[in-house]
Amino acid sequence: MAQFNTIEFKDGVLKLIDQRKLPLSFEIFECKNYREVDFAIKDMVVRGAPAIGVTAAYGVYLAALEYKNLTKEEFLKEVLRACDILYVSRPTAVNLMWAINRMRDLINTLKEDSIDKICDAIKDEADKIAKEDENINKKIAEHGNNIIPQNARILTHCNTGALATSAYGTALGVIREAHYSGKNIFVYADETRPRLQGARLTAFELVKEKIPAKLIPDNAAATLIRDGKVDVIIVGADRIALNGDTANKIGTFMLSVIAKVYNVPFYIAAPTSTIDFNIESGKEIVIEERDSREVTHIEGIRIAPEGIDVYNPAFDVTPNENITGIITEKGIITKPFRENILKLKL
């Protein structure tokens, strides 16, 4: 089984697989301060909601190390300011906010302690978030495997594997579990324009693990679904509202509509930390819009004419009525989503 150390903290340095460079080169991006973490998240050196959350947590620790020689008052001020900066590094993935809020709560709880003790506690909390993510992913995979039939043909979108998390993956983790449990699955991986996470990252993981698969253009998915060549669709999530509406990589909503028309089960796989208990529906989710160059250029080469306007949302929202179930570490949430999601808070 292939393993990826997507995120590793060692000797005071946060080391990230540079996902902008895969699959053509395997390079490590080193973050030595929280500003470099902020850049890594914004520029998608690291991406995937769970991985972003873990990375941000370590960013807070780097800030603590940077400011540990200040007075207690200045130390707390600067570390919490770093939290504020990291909190808004990307606006849609709620795992980022969740992780930063955990760090803020910890800092506020320990503010009467020594700076050294606070620093140690921040590092322990970041390690804990990373380890929790690994364990959660494995549980998601185990629960999700229960809905995968023998010989299933599975369609997925974007990258939701080990590269998008601290280990194993969410939707791709379910696929991985089904493969290693001997279900003889076959995977169709959407290329996922415009940044091609499916082509560059999901395909990379599938090849490394020798999982039978084909890479397809995004606009081939509808034909495969219509022709009965897809048994189940599993995708990830960046934010889930109380009513089950789900923000995920752009193109997910379109897949869900086609799946509904042709009665193909459509599942979301995500940790419960991706659920935003503070919003009622997807209408409240802020959708990040990214640089037009992601659409007008490929590897720095312009493919669209100068002067053309671009609409480049990074995510879209899939309405709950298009979703069969939400696979979490606590089990599979089914309709009525709001009622069953609220049970997770008890």
Query: Is residue 19 part of an annotated ligand binding site?
Result: no
Q: How many CB atoms lie within 10 A of CB 51?
A: 28
Query: Is residue 20 part of an annotated ligand binding site?
Result: no
Query: Is residue 214 part of an annotated ligand binding site?
Result: no
Give CA 40 to chain center in angstroms: 14
Distance CA 38, CA 288 (A): 16
Query: Is residue 197 part of an annotated ligand binding site?
Result: yes
Catalytic annotation present for 113: no
Catalytic residue among 133, 218, 238, 316: 238
From 263, 238, 39, select the one nearest 30 (Cα to Cα). 39
* DSSP letter (8 states) at residue 91: S
From 240, 231, 224, 236, select the one nearest 264 (Cα to Cα). 231
- Which amino acid, 78? E
User: Tokens 């549980």 sit at which residue?
Assistant: 139
From 194, 197, 201, select the one nearest 312 (Cα to Cα). 194
From 189, 245, 182, select the one nearest 215 (Cα to Cα). 189
Q: How many CB atoms lie within 10 A of CB 229?
A: 13
From 114, 115, 109, 105, select the one nearest 63 (Cα to Cα). 115
Strands of the sheet containing 315-318, edge to edge, are 239-240, 246-249, 315-318
Tell me which H or E stretch contains 156.
strand 153-156
Query: Is residue 35 part of an annotated ligand binding site?
Result: no
Query: Is residue 49 part of an annotated ligand binding site?
Result: yes
**SS3 state at 175:** helix
User: Tokens 């048994």 sit at which residue?
Assistant: 231
**63 contacts 57 by C-beta, under 8 angstroms:** no
User: Tokens 């200045």 sit at which residue?
Assistant: 74
Query: Is residue 249 part of an annotated ligand binding site?
Result: yes
* DSSP letter (8 states) at residue 321: G
User: Tokens 């089990």 sit at which residue?
Assistant: 331
Distance CA 200, CA 158 (A): 10
Q: Which residues contact 196 (CB under 8 A, 6 or more apart)?
A: none
Annotated binding site: 47-49, 90, 197, 248-249
Q: Which residues are annotated as a binding site for substrate?
A: 47-49, 90, 197, 248-249
Catalytic machinery residues: 238
